[in-house]
Amino acid sequence: MKLHITVLPGDGVGPEVTREAVRVLRTAADLYGCEVSLEDHVIGGVAIRECGAPLPEATLRACMQSQAVLLGAVGGPEFDSLPAGQRPESGLLALRQALGGYANLRPAIAYSAIADCSPLRSEIITGADVLIVRELLGGIYFAEPRGFEGGPCPSAYNTMRYSEAEIERVAHVAFQQARMRHRKVTSVDKANVLETSQLWRKTVTRIGREYPEIKLDHMYVDSCAMRLITHPGSFDVILTENLFGDILSDEAAVISGSLGMLASATIGGKVDLYEPVHGSAPDIAGRGIANPLGAIASAAMLLRHSARLEQAARDIEDAMREVLDAGHRTADLARGRAKRAVSTSEMGALVESAVADVTDRRRAYHAV
């Protein structure tokens, strides 16, 4: 099997964490006989500096011709003065639209070894394993009209809009993911106030009837935000629209203890996109202290969804857990805990080595 991946290291810590994700991805793929070819391109701030645009044509063309895209991060304060359409983030939005992925998958897992990194009590997060399925191409971020109005009292406006078809397709993704997990979907909306949410709830309920083995419940977004903090273990798959999903998935970082732990996959379009949830973190860029585990977990999701190498993905995830269980921490996980922090590259090397060990042990066990 061959897998062609376009790698977009991006800005800030993006190149550092992406390097480690690629290292682990290559090792895991090789163990399963998958030949990986990688092609690096620029996006975001580095693309503005080198090419004058946040998403150069060569980058977009390479992405569209690949089987998957692995992204580091985009953005930086030096570009904040640029018009909105010329900033690094606009390149990412344009890429997402071009690739067509409409479902964003964001897992949030409570690792017992780093439970003390969460601001929540360990008994609250123990066993929590949540997958947030966020609709990514609709809602208030993309609907028209939007803009500003002048006059003596300037105003601004955005439009929240969803079609039945947009809701249907992302709902199917959530129910299909739940089939492979604990068979529960919580659909999050604001149906007591918003017409879009009323259509959302009605449509998700109808789609849910096609999956009788899946338990479906509905929850208002404010109630969900509270319960995600107080009882995260009560959730399996959370399905929600673009804005709510953006907020809830960042809130879910408290379950894992750091934004640096969170991965994501954007699927459903022509080419799938994988990226850690954290930003470019320019304040720590180049210092070798960024947490690469979110990027590495994103590489695992790439193997799962684009290469269909489920066991290889699980081996990476098991390797990450073993490295954490052994006491290794990056700076964001070691702060104030009297633990020596390993560097970005050291963490990548530890996970790479553990992947090989996990795979060898599993194969030896099944050979007996």
- Predicted pLDDT at 368: 58
Q: Which of 254, 249, 115, 236 has its CA nearest to residue 177? A: 236
- Helices (DSSP H) in 231-292: which residue ranges? 242-251, 253-256
Q: What three-state secondary structure class fits 368?
A: coil
Look at residue 232 in the predicted model and tell me its pLDDT.
Answer: 96
Catalytic (active site) residue 222: yes
**42, amino acid identity:** V
Question: How many of the other CB atoms lie within 10 Å of CB of 283?
Answer: 9
CA 356, 5, 304 angle in degrees (round to 5)? Answer: 55
Nearest alpha carbon to residue 204 among 227, 171, 236, 230: 171
Task: Find tokens 């994103």 and name the residue.
Answer: 298
The answer, yes or no, to whether residue 156 has pLDDT greater than 70, is yes
**Global pTM value:** 0.92
Instruction: Place 85 in a pLDDT band, splitting at 50, 70 and 90.
Output: confident
| Domain 119-256 in this protein, CATH class | alpha beta
Does 274 qualify as catalytic in the annotation? Answer: no
Is position 217 annotated as part of the catalytic site? no
pLDDT score of 225 more than 70: yes
Band the pLDDT of 208: cuts 50, 70, 90. very high
Give the per-residue pLDDT at 339: 66
pLDDT tier, 364 (very low <50, low <70, confident <90, very high otherwise): confident
Active-site pick, 141, 215, 220, 339 = 141
Question: 279 and 12 in contact (C-beta within 8 Å)?
Answer: yes
- Whether 1-105+259-368 and 119-256 share one fold: the answer is yes
Give the model's pLDDT for residue 337.
Answer: 62
Q: Hey, where are the domains in the chain?
A: 1-105+259-368, 119-256
Separation CA 117–CA 332 (nearest Å): 9
Whether omega for the bond prior to residue 145 falls within 30 degrees of 0, making it cis, is yes
**Averaged pLDDT, 176-184:** 97
Q: Which stretch of 1-5, 86-90, 239-243, 333-337 has the lowest confidence by average pLDDT?
A: 333-337
Whole-number Cα distances in Å, 294 to 30, 246, 315: 21, 17, 15
From the candidates 222, 325, 357, 360, which is the catalytic residue?
A: 222
The catalytic residue among 236, 246, 272, 332 is: 246
pLDDT (tens digit, 9 = 90+) per residue, 1-56?
899 999 999 999 999 999 999 999 999 999 999 999 999 999 999 999 999 999 99
Cβ–Cβ < 8 Å for 111, 51: no
Three-state DSSP state, 74: coil
- Res. 272: pLDDT tops 80: yes
- Amino acid at position 363, single letter: R
User: For residue 255, is pLDDT > 60?
Assistant: yes
> What pLDDT band is residue 361 in, cutting at 50, 70 and 90?
confident
Q: Is the pLDDT of residue 338 over 60?
A: no
- Measured distance CA(125)–CA(327) in Å, rounded: 19
Whether 202 is catalytic: no
Tell me, what amino acid is at 367? A
Among the listed residues 162, 190, 274, 315, the single catalytic one is: 190
Pairwise CA distance, residues 7 & 36, whole Å: 12
* DSSP designation for 340: P
* CATH homologous superfamily for the domain 1-105+259-368: Isopropylmalate Dehydrogenase (3.40.718.10)
User: Is residue 315 annotated as part of the catalytic site, yes or no?
Assistant: no
User: Whose CA is closest to 286, among 8, 42, 76?
Assistant: 76
What tokens appear for 117 in the block?
Answer: 């990194």
H/E element, 148: strand 147-149
Q: One of 40, 220, 250, 339 is an active-site residue; which one?
A: 250
Q: Positive or negative, the Cα torsion across 93, 97, 98, 99? A: positive
Structure tokens belonging to residue 10: 């991006």
Residue 297 has pLDDT above 90, yes or no: yes
The residue to which tokens 């690469």 are assigned: 292
